[in-house]
Amino acid sequence: MDNQENLRKHLIDQGRGMLRVKYLDTGELSTAAICPGCWNSPERRKTLIQKLKSLGVCPAHKRDFLTGDYDKTKSHSPGCPYGRS
């Protein structure tokens, strides 16, 4: 297992989701760790997409756009401030 696979497994074990993104300037693909609960909230996804764009990346797949798919069964990552009751 290489370093990227180890990191990916570690983040998933922590309850984070992995989002496929692409760099706006080159189109190169990468991944970003996100909170699944936040990503599956339309309001939070809008904010997260804006944050990703400010970092020079955007979602790579149409299903991850603001008008894409949502799974309301996903919970927040441990430590996510939006997951607290």
- Taking the whole predicted model, whether its pTM rises above 0.85 is answered as no
pLDDT in tens, 22-63: 999 999 999 898 999 999 999 999 999 999 999 999 999 999
Answer whether 19's CB lies under 8 Å from 68's CB: no
The 10 Å CB-count burial string (b at 16+, else e) for 34-63 is bbbbbbbbeebbeebbeebeeeebebbeee
Q: Which tops the pLDDT comparison, 36 or 79?
A: 36
Q: How much is the mean pLDDT over the chain?
A: 88
* 1 vs 21: which has the higher pLDDT: 21
User: What's the distance, Cα to Cα, between the start and end of the chain in Å?
Assistant: 37
| Domain limits, the chain | 3-64
- Residue 66, pLDDT > 60, answer yes
